[in-house]
Every structure is written in C-alpha cells, then in structure tokens.
Chain A
Amino acid sequence: MNEQIASIQSAALELIAAASDERSLDDARVAVLGKKGTLSLAGALIKDIPNEEKAAFGQSLNSARTAITAALEEKQNALQAIADAAALSGIDLTLPARAHPTGSLHPLTLIRDEAIQILRRMGFALADGPEIEDEYHCFDALNTPADHPARNEKDTFYFNSGKLLRTHTSSVQIRTMESSTPPIRIIAPGSAYRRDEIDATHLSVFNQLEGLFVDTDVTLPDLKGTLEYFLREMFGTSTEVRFRPHFFPFTEPSFEIDVKLQIKGQAPRWIEVAGCGMVDPAVFESINATRKDNALDPGKVTGFAFGMGLDRLAMIRWGIKDIRLLIENDVRFLKQFA
C-alpha cells in the first residue's frame, strides 16, 4: 500500500509541477485532493487495512498529503509571483503624467495675502470703502482742501456727477473713522486710480494697502516698531529699514520708508516701499465736524497711518520688470505662481 501512496504522491507532485497557471493548478488540486481525487480515493481504502497496519498507512497517507499540500502552496505562490511580475511588467514609469489642469493665484493676491496675514497677526482688522468716491473723502477730509498744491486734479479721473475715482486708499481712513470709535486698528487693501498712461512702471489702476491705528497713546515709536516688524516679516528678519522725512497732507510728521534689498543681478540698494506718518490733527478735526461728537478729540487721541503699493511689492518680490505683466494675464507668467 505504501508503494501505492508513494506513486500517487509522485504522480501528484508531477501534476502540480506541470501546472502552468491558476486553472491547471486548481485542476491538479481537484485531481489529487478532490472528493474523487487520487489521494482521497486511496484514503478511503483505510477501512480495508488490517488494524495493525492502519497506523503506518495513516502516517504515510498524512505525509503524502502534507507534501502535496506544501507543493500546491509553493506552486500557488510561484504562479502568483509570475502573475504579479507580469502585472507590473511593461509599465513605463518614465512616460509623462496624464494631464490635469493646473491653476494659480495671481501674484497680487499672493503678496496681498502675505501682507494681510502679517498685519492680522499684529491685530489689524480689514476695512473697505467705495472706489467711486467724493472729493470730501478723497481730498478735503484728508487735509487737502480745494486749492492745496498737493491736490492733483490733473491726475484724477472725474465723473459728471462730480465724484471721482479714489486716488489712494487713504479715503478708507476717513470712512472708517466716521463710523467707528477708537481703538481703530484697520488695514484696507484696494484699488486706486491715477490718470496716467500705462507703461512699464505705471498702471492707471493700481493696488494699495492702507493701514491706520488710532488710540489714546499712539506715538512715533509705535509707528516705527509696527512698520519695521511688518517689513522684516515681509522681506526677512535682518532687512534694513529706514524712514526718510517726507510730506503727505494728512500726516505730520510724514515719512517714506525704504528697505535695503538686493534685486537679482543688482547691487543692494534702498528701495522705497511705503509712506507713513502720524495722523494730522486737522484730519481728526474734519471727522469730528462730520460726527459732531468729538470722538476723535486731537487733544486725546493720536494715530498713525501707512500706505504701500502692492503692485510695487510684487515687482520687488519676484523681480518683475514690467508692471504690465500684472494685468496682461499671460498664462505663461501666471503659471510661475502655481
């Protein structure tokens, strides 16, 4: 009997070895281990075996089953390995990707958001105002009365209604102070307009960011500390910042701010990035006259204001040589900000 089992085992192992795929291996399994498989049929003979030989027969049956099962499993693994290898063969990792459309935010959005994030960390909230303004909010209330030499009407777009396109976002200072009481700590990003031919360095519509802090104890050290911190966050912690005396009708004293920067391919130099100053008491007086409650008593409150050109900041940040790139929306340009 043992010889019979041995021959079943060797035939089974041959069959398994010959299996070339999942299906023929399965056929082999059924042919040997299935209900009517060769080993199963041989197993059924145990009842005819004398008792004293049963143990030995059972043993050799079991060892044959173990060997066959192991062979099946081994073959199964081998076939799976071949199939897995086939599934991965011929795949070219170096072919380019499928195309998925890419998009980007506009550089102005990026620079504006960066500035806003820094200033929000410093406790500024956003404010807003109309772009079609009246002369009062754009000029008069900002201490620039009708025959003031700083009132540049030639560069201003007017409408038949007498209104105008705001020439700066400083009008938002007035709008905010008219409707809220100190402490006022706001920033106002927005468009401003100048009757200027468009060229490599000028746009007739440009973008500014205005800031205003009015409270009972606002001083030049606050202005200086705030703007130094802002500019160092913007341009790097070791950036040199200088304040040049300047003139704006609505702040006194007034300054222009330069940072020392190195633009690609140039020697480091001072670059003007912002204007600022302490709110002129005359501005508070105009607002009090409108509010009629003296909430901005220049004897009690002080403030500082600042403004900067976002288009300019973007040009500095990314070395953009022609400002028109910011409004032409050439995808080859925009892609670089993806």
Chain B
Amino acid sequence: MNISLNWLSTHLDLSGKSISEISDLFTFAGVEVEGIVTKGIASEKIVVAQIMEAVQHPDADKLKVTQVDAGEGQLRQIVCGAKNYKVGDKVPCCLPGAQLPGGFSIGETKMRGVESKGMLAAAEEIGLPKGEDGLLILPADSPIGVPVKSLFDSDTLLELEVTPNRPDLLSRRGMARELATLLKTPLISEKLPETSASAASPDFIRLEAADACPFYSATRIDGVKVGESPAWLKDRLASIGLRPINNLVDITNFVLHETGQPLHAFDAAKVTLPLVIRHAKDGEPFTALDESVHTLTPDDLLISDASGAALALAGIMGGLDSGVTESTSSILLEAAYFAPSGIRRSSRRTALSSDSSYRYERGADPQAVLPAAALAISLIESNATATQTAGELPSPPSPVALDLGKLHHLLGDSISTEAAEEILTRLGLAKHPDSKWAIPSFRQDLTRHIDLAEEITRVHGLANVPSRLRATFVPTSDVDAAYDADMILRRRLAALGLYECQTIKLISETQLADILPLRPMQDGDVIRVKSPLSEDHAIMRPSIIPGLVASAERNARQQAKSIRLFEMGRVFRNAGGGKALDQESDSLAILITGHSNPSSWAAKDRPADLYDAKAIFSALLPNQTISLKPKDRENFALGAEIKAEDQTIGVFARLSLQRERDLDFTSPVFVAEMDLGKLRKLISSKSQVEDLPQFPGSSRDAAMELPLATANAEIEATLAKAKEPLLVSYECFDLFTDPTGVKIPADRKSIAYRFQYRATERTLKAEEVDLAHKGILELLRTTDGLVFR
C-alpha cells in the first residue's frame, strides 16, 4: 500500500519528524517500509538567487559567465549555458554540496578555464516537473537566499507492506489512528459527516444472501454531473499513484483509501430496482468491467437487479454494463459489509482482485460502512436521497479475556500489569468490569488471549524483553547421522578435486534425456508440476545428472578445461509406472569431463577417462572394493552398475556420443548417480581393526596374454574361485596393447598381475610360495584364450 505523508498529515501532526523517524515508527508498528520516494525538491542547498550580471564566456560561444546574488553577502560566479533568462531574474541556484536527483552532487569547478561555483538549474534538474527550456524563472518576489523547496509542494510517498491480519491499517484514517496510539498524540482528522439511514423497502433492496452479505446499504443520488475532479482530489489520488478518472470514480477511490471502506457506484439508469443481493446460479456468466468473462458458482455473491442482470460480483468488481459513464445523471451508491471468506473464495476462483476485494477479504470495519457512504455523499455534492439499508451489521467482536499469568510468563516479567493494560486502552480496547476486554469494531483480528498478548508485546517492544539462554538436551536424530555422513562425503569429494554444485530441482522435458535414475523410469513415473511458470522448470528431477550436464555445458562454454562436479540432494519420482506416488530420496551425482588434471608444464594434458571416474568412486569409499558391472542404459554409452563389494550403490555411464556432440562437448562426459542412503551406511559402518601381519610375505608376478575382448572381470572371476589360503591379495599392475600388431597381435592384450602370498604364523619358504603360485596359474589357465608370456 502506498501512503502519502501529506495526506497522512491531514490526520496526524507529523511536523518535526524526520523521514527516518517516521519510517521507524511504521517499522515498529509491524508495517514494513519497502520504499521511500521523495517528490519535489529534496536538497536545502538549492536556493533562490538573482542574476546580477551575465557576460560572454571568453572561450566558449554557448556559455555565459554570471554573477548571482544568493544572499551570501557577496556575489557568486557561475558559468551557465541557458539562454532564457535576463539579468535581474531570480532562478534556482545549486550551491556546492547540493544533492540533485539521480545522485548528482554539485561542486566548484572550472568550465573552459573559468571558475564556476555552483549551478543554475532548470526545473527538471532539481526534481520538479519539466518546464520551459532553460532555467526555472522564479517569481520576482521570491526572497533571495531561501531554499527553493520552500516555494514548492513536496511530498513523501511511502510504500508499505501491511500484514494480512491488520486490515484496519489499510486506510489513512486507520494508519493515523495506529500511529497516534504509538506516538501518544491526538488525531487531528476532520470528523466524518453525520449518517442517517433507514431500513430499505423491498422495492429498493432485496437481500437474499444475508450469510455472505450481512449488511447492505444503497443511496440514490440524482443530478450528478460526471466530469473532471477538483484539483485537490486529483492531487490526493496522484500522490499515491492512482490515475484520476472522473469525479465519481475518484470520490469512491478517495473514500476507500481514506476510510478503508470500499464503495461502488451503479448508474441508476441501468438498474431495474430493487437491487438484489443473491448467490449466483451454478454456471451463471458474468462479464467484469475489465471485460474478463467468468462462469460463477452458487458460492459467488452477486449484486443483481429485478431483471436478473448481474450488476457486480459483490465486493470484487463491477460488471461491464452497470458502471458510471459520462452520461450518468443518477447513481446508486453501494456501501456494504461482505463476509471476508466468501470474498476470498470468489476472488481466488475468478482470479479477480481489486482494492475493494483486498480489504473485504481481510475484514473491513463494519462500523465504517455508513460513515464512508456519508463522506462520499457529502463529496458528491448532489441531491442525495436518504441512505437505505438491509440486513444488520455484524455484532461487535466478543470481549476477550487477558490471562495475566500467561502474559507475564511470555514476556519474562518485563512489563507491569498497569503498563500492559494501558497499552490495550491506548489501542482502543476497554476493560469490562468482569475484566474481559471489549474490542473495537476495526480490530476483528483480536479474538484470543494470545492476540491481546501480541498487541502488548508489539507496543512494549522486544527490546524491552530480557534475553534468556537455556537449552534442553535432545538426542541425536537419524537426520543428524545422515547429515554428518553427507558432510564427510562432500569433504572427500572436494578434497578429490570436485566442485560441489547446486542446481534447480525443477527441470525441463528435454532435460529428461539426461536423467540417470538408479532404477529406470516407466511411463507415469515422472512427476510434472500442474501449471509451471516456464517449460524450463516443469518436472521434478528424478535424477541430478541433467542439472550437472547443464552446469558442465555452461562451464565448457566459459573455456573451463577440467570439469569435475558433484551435487547431493533430493530426487523425485513415482514408482511402478505411477503405482507408488511422490517418492523422495537423496542422491549423489558426479560428472567429469575435459582434462583429467588442470594443465601443467610437468605433465601432458590427457582427457579424463572412465578410470578417473572409477578412481573417484574408490577414493570416496576407500574401505570398499568398487567395481563397475556393465548394464546398458537407454540414451547412454558404457552404462554400468556401481558396486561396493556385492551391493549395487549407483549407476555409471558416459553420455551417448551423439549427445556429447549435440552439447558441443569435445571430450567424453562421464556421469554417475549414487544412492546416498546406501553411501551413508557404507561410510559409517565401523569394523573391528585387523592385526598387522607378523611375518613377511612374498610376491610373484604373472604376465598373461588374452583376447582383447576378454574383460578383466573374467580374470577376477576366476581368481575369486581360488581356494589357496596363502594368497592374501593381487593387483593388476600393467596392461599392454598394440593396435599396430607389431609387439602383440592387435586383437590380443597383455595384462600383468602381482600376487601376494603370506602365512599368518610363519615366514613362507620359497618352495611353498612357488607351489601356491603354480596352483593360481593353473587356475588362470582355464580362462578362454589365456596364455602366459
């Protein structure tokens, strides 16, 4: 809500208060000041000066050197380029130090070698509306030396955020009432005109929906002349950013902002009396004055007439055909109290909202209905007939008990009962003899003890409440354990040279091409947002990979040479083709592409390969044997399950080569997605330590030649069958291939293993080792196509 300080000052004396004091006042009333806009001249250092002399600049055709009297006892020399003045004119003079709109600061300077101690200004240069070209010529009787701002109107516009529980602050009078309470100063508002109203005859108003509209009033005003509003009214509306339209519309707008009570004017000529306040029929059409077309439900409330025509969607917006036009001569002025929840529902359903619905849905003050109508009638200055009413104003809010024990507990005994009660009294509440508090009609939000306690706390201020430091011990949760495990994994990955990423959990349809969920998706497993803001953010990510691919792509475009990324977080999917809905789990994704290492003089650049990726997985879980088990994944190359011992912990793949080309990647992109739930268990599983070996072991090497296509896994599978108790470990330490077929046939490879033998209770003899090794070699020889070299 915008509020003009000039307008507010018609209700409350704010003189002598700086903008920052006033801003603090709002802030501590619970109203956030979101912006402050000053209109008119801001700086005090722009003063009235008389031009005493103007001579040609010796070195510039278009400049004159002036001597001006700014009331300083001596003349001031200023170089000026304007042409519209004559010697003797009074003009605005910006003295050094003056701040101009746009952050300009005036200083002393030299222009083409001639000293210039300030600036003579045009209207728009000092924050006034643009006038004629050249300097602003001030009235001849303007006193020399006074700030120019004192000759012009200025105002300050505050942009305020009023919280939804305080509809009473959505008007000048309401805001002034609150500030007066906080400042302990009296209101200086003009009294609203006296109201007189009588019960309506059924020929004038027929109230058929008292549940949604407890109280309705209408006033017929004849002899209305629709035209331009008087200047004061246009200024008031303009001061809060509203466009003046015509006197009738402007008056209803003014009264709404002045009192908080929405009004509506119907062109009487377009209404067949009586006005009928009724629920809409199911499917009833309504065209609003913004020309939007709606299909209503019986929950919507209409102002209709005897013909059945819908004149307005009650409390929200008038109809297209019932409003005031330039030819209107008689009006029906509506002032009513509508039930807030009904207005809220209708407004939501139709997506129509207005300044009126904004106030009605939060709860307008029932006691303001008729005074607001009276104010409007007095401003319209035409032949008003008596206001007629139907229904009854809602009963005043029930009195509320204040539990003093709870209050003092809440506030840490920082306020006396008297001071607390004084605050409530200042806020317009009244203590009943039974010690309950009567609530004013404009504070419908106060219904419980805690609401009163809040008012007292707010005015008392939390600054006046003591601080207490006190903890209650609670046990560590499963979420704590998961968090700690995640942090360990994160730090390991960062230490391994990966950057942690954070991507948006909403992805696009096209990005689905990059998903690599732990279990493949079926139709119906993707979770789509109902009305996404854009196609880019339409789907809950079932996998983190698409986000990392996009991040890698962006980094590659920025010439990053070595890209190593990871992200941890929630992924979302249905399971079983939509049988199990909204499954959330935590996932770790890794992506590497580009050089294996940053470039260096000491080593040749090499594109990262899948063994670099595997190295990361192994280093992440150093106590686990990590392996990749090939398993094709749609849209990807080299798909595999990531295994820790026998447990599948994730999925690995390279982007399809076509996808890499499409995304302009120049080296392979390897990705992995792992089940964070499993990783947390694997890093947090503590095992007992093993005793260190007491006796030395011996190693034997074996170089084997076998078909290129035979996987290393076959050797490992064979070795897994070995029952040799002396064999404690083995490792592959060399691989050799020769595509030219010179050193070894091109379709064969040589692979070398080292075997470690040891007994726990003695040092092995060479013959024992040889015998054991011979057994292992015999076993290996069973592998298809394997020969020893």
A residues contacting B by CB (< 8 A) are 95-106, 108-109, 113, 116, 120, 122-128, 130-132, 146-150, 153, 157-161, 163, 165, 183-186, 191, 193, 195-198, 203-205, 213, 215, 217, 219-222, 224-226, 228-229, 242-247, 249, 252-256, 278, 280-281, 302, 326-332, 334-335, 338
Q: Known interface pairs A197-B533, A329-B565. Does A247 touch B499 (Cβ–Cβ under 8 Å)?
A: no
Complex: A131 Cα to B348 Cα, angstroms: 24
Report if B466 contacts A (CB, 8 A): yes
Residue from A103, A222, A302 with most neighbouring chain B CB atoms (10 Å): A103
Establish whether residues A102 and B503, one from each chain, have CB atoms under 8 Å apart when the complex forms: no
Task: Give chain B interface residues in 510-539, CB to chain A under 8 Å.
Answer: 527-534, 537
Contact between chains at B562 and A101 (CB < 8 Å): yes
Cβ of A221 to closest chain B Cβ, rounded Å: 4
Complex Cα spacing A217 to B495, Å: 45
Contact A221 B30 (CB under 8 A): no
Residue ID in chain B nearest A224 by CB atoms: B467
Contacting residues, chain A, for B496 (C-beta < 8 A):
101, 103
Question: What's the Cα separation between A184 and B675 when bound, in Å?
Answer: 30
Q: Give, as a whole number of angstroms, the nearest-CB distance from B624 to chain A.
A: 21
Supposing A96-B600, A191-B505 touch, asked if A280 and B450 sit within 8 A by C-beta, the answer is yes
B41 to chain A, nearest CB (A): 24
17 additional A-B pairs beyond A243-B462, A278-B410, beta carbons within 8 Å, are A99-B598, A103-B494, A103-B496, A106-B502, A123-B474, A131-B505, A148-B344, A159-B530, A220-B411, A221-B465, A224-B466, A229-B469, A242-B462, A253-B450, A254-B454, A326-B502, A328-B551
Contact with A along B144-164 (1 / 0, CB 8 A): 000000000000000000011
Q: List 18 A-B contacts (CB under 8 A).
A: A103-B494, A103-B496, A105-B490, A109-B500, A122-B471, A124-B474, A147-B361, A158-B531, A191-B570, A196-B533, A221-B465, A224-B462, A225-B466, A228-B467, A243-B462, A246-B163, A327-B503, A335-B499
What is the CB-to-nearest-CB distance from B389 to chain A, in angstroms, rounded to a whole number? 26
B450 touches A252 (CB 8 A): yes
Contact of A253 among B448, B457, B494, B530 (CB under 8 A): B457
Contacts of A132 in B (CB 8 A): 527, 540, 572, 582, 584
Number of interface residues of B (CB under 8 A): 95
Query: For residue A165, which residue of chain B has the nearest CB?
Result: B529
User: Taking CB as reference atom, which chain B residue is nearest A183?
Assistant: B472
B529 near A157 with CB under 8 A, answer yes
Q: Is the CB of B467 within 8 A of A225?
A: yes
CA distance A94 to B581 in the complex (A): 60
Q: Which 5 A-B pairs have the closest CB atoms?
A: A101-B497, A247-B163, A225-B467, A123-B471, A245-B30
Asked if B469 contacts A100 (CB within 8 A), the reply is no
The complex places the Cα of A66 from the Cα of B462 at a distance, in Å, of 93
Nearest CB on B from A109, distance (A): 6
Indicate if the CB atoms of B499 and A103 lie closer than 8 Å. yes
Bound Cα distance from A335 to B746, whole angstroms: 44
Whole-angstrom CA separation of A197 from B530 in the bound complex = 16
Judge whether B603 is part of the interface by a CB distance below 8 angstroms.
Answer: yes
Known: A125-B477, A147-B344, A246-B30. A252 touches B501 (CB 8 A): no
Chain A hits for B501, CB < 8 A? 106, 329, 334
Decide if A330 touches B468 in the complex (CB within 8 Å).
no
Within 8 A of A (CB), among B382-429: 409-412, 414
Which of these binds chain A: B63-71, B553-561, B737-745?
B553-561
* Inter-subunit contact B503/A329 (CB<8 Å): yes
Q: Kindly state the separation between the CA atoms of A338 and B335 in the bound complex, as whole angstroms.
A: 65
Q: Which residues of A contact B506 (CB under 8 A)?
A: 157, 193, 204-205
Q: Are B597 and A101 in contact (CB under 8 A)?
A: yes
Q: Inside 8 A of B529's CB, which chain A residues have their CB?
A: 157-159, 165
User: How far does the alpha carbon of A165 sit from the alpha carbon of B530 in the complex, in Å?
Assistant: 11
B537 proximity list for chain A (CB < 8 A): 204
Q: Is the CB of A253 within 8 A of B582?
A: no
A127 → B minimal CB distance (Å): 6
Shortest beta-carbon distance, A176 to chain B, in Å? Answer: 9
**Beyond A99-B599, A328-B554, is A147–B582 a contact (Cβ under 8 Å)?**
no
Residue B623 CB within 8 A of the other chain: no
Q: B476 interface residue, CB < 8 Å from A?
A: yes
- CB pair A125–B474 under 8 Å, yes or no, is yes
Across the interface, which residues of A come within 8 angstroms of B311, CB to CB? none
Contacts of A252 in B (CB 8 A): 450-451, 453-454
CA–CA, A163 and B493, complex, Å:
35
Closest chain A residue, CB of each to CB of B453: A253
Q: A159-B530, A219-B412, A280-B450 are in contact. Are A130 and B584 (CB under 8 A)?
A: yes
**Closest approach, in angstroms, between the C-beta of A273 and any C-beta of chain B?**
14
* Contact (Cβ within 8 A) B495 A247: no
Asked whether, in the complex, the Cβ of B601 is within 8 Å of the Cβ of A96, the reply is yes
In whole angstroms, how far apart are the Cα atoms of A201 and B553 in the complex? Answer: 24
B788, CB-defined interface residue at 8 Å: no
Residue B292 CB within 8 A of the other chain = no
The residue on B at minimum CB distance from A280 is: B450
B497 contacts A100, CB within 8 Å? yes
Q: Are B500 and A127 in contact (CB under 8 A)?
A: no
Decide: A334 and B499 in contact? CB cutoff 8 A.
yes
The residue in chain B whose Cβ has the minimal distance to the Cβ of A194 is B533
Among the interface residues A104, A108, A158, which one has the most CB atoms of the partner chain B within 10 A? A104
Nearest A residue to B564 via CB reads A101
- Residue of B whose beta carbon sits closest to that of A225: B467
Chain A residue nearest to B31 (CB atoms) is: A245
Closest CB in chain A relative to B569 CB, distance in Å: 8
Instruction: Name, among A95, A99, A278, A280, the residue most crowded by chain B CB atoms within 10 Å (CB to CB).
Output: A99
Question: Do B528 and A159 touch across chains, with their CB atoms under 8 A apart?
Answer: yes
B603 touches A225 (CB 8 A): no
B residues within 8 A CB of A113? 487
Asked if A147 contacts B341 (CB within 8 A), the reply is yes
A219 and B499 CA atoms in complex are apart in Å by 43
Question: How far, in Å, is B566 (CB) from chain A's closest CB?
Answer: 8
List B contacts of A153 (CB < 8 A).
348
Task: Give Cα distance in the complex from A149 to B475, angstroms.
Answer: 38
Question: Closest chain B residue to A216 by CB distance?
Answer: B472
> Which A residues are CB-close (under 8 A) to B498?
101, 103
B29 at interface by CB-CB < 8 Å = yes
Instruction: Give B454 Cβ to nearest chain A Cβ, in Å.
Output: 4
A99 touches B597 (CB 8 A): yes
Residue B165, interface by CB 8 Å:
yes
B766: interface (CB < 8 Å): no
Measured in the bound complex, the distance between the Cα atoms of B532 and A130 in whole Å is 20
- B487 / chain A contacts, CB cutoff of 8 Å: 113
Instruction: Give the chain B neighbours of A120 by CB distance below 8 A.
Output: 480
Instruction: Tell which of A105, A149, A203, A246 has the most Cβ of chain B within 10 Å.
Output: A149
Chain B 474-485: CB-based contact to A (< 8 A → 1; otherwise 0) = 111101100100
Determine how close the nearest CB of chain B comes to the CB of A284; give it in whole angstroms.
11
Give the complex CA separation of A161 and B540 in angstroms: 14
- Given A149-B361, A220-B411, A247-B163, A331-B603 contact (CB < 8 Å): no
**Residues of B with C-beta under 8 A to A158:** 529-531
A161 touches B410 (CB 8 A): no
Taking a contact as CB atoms under 8 Å apart, the answer to whether B505 and A205 are in contact is: yes
* Whole-angstrom distance between the Cβ of A320 and the nearest chain B Cβ: 13
CB of A96 to closest CB in B, whole Å = 7
**A203 / chain B contacts, CB cutoff of 8 Å:** 504
B491 interfacial contact with A, CB 8 Å: yes
Establish whether residues A183 and B474, one from each chain, have CB atoms under 8 Å apart when the complex forms.
Answer: yes
- In the complex, chain A residues whose CB is within 8 Å of the CB of B165: 247
Give every chain B residue within 8 A of A160 (Cβ-Cβ). 528, 530
Shortest distance in angstroms between A177's beta carbon and chain B's nearest beta carbon? 13
Which residues of A are found within 8 Å of B479, using beta-carbon distances? 125-128
Query: Cβ of A220 and Cβ of B412 under 8 Å apart?
Result: yes
B499 touches A149 (CB 8 A): no
Residues of B within 8 A of A146 (CB): 345
Q: Which residues of B contact A302 (CB under 8 A)?
A: 409-410
**Minimum CB–CB distance for A228 against chain B, Å:** 6
Among B479, B487, B504, B505, which residue has the most Cβ atoms of chain A within 10 A?
B479
Task: List, in ascending order, chain A residues with CB within 8 A of B562's CB.
Answer: 101
Asked whether B602 is an interface residue with its Cβ less than 8 Å from the other chain, the reply is yes
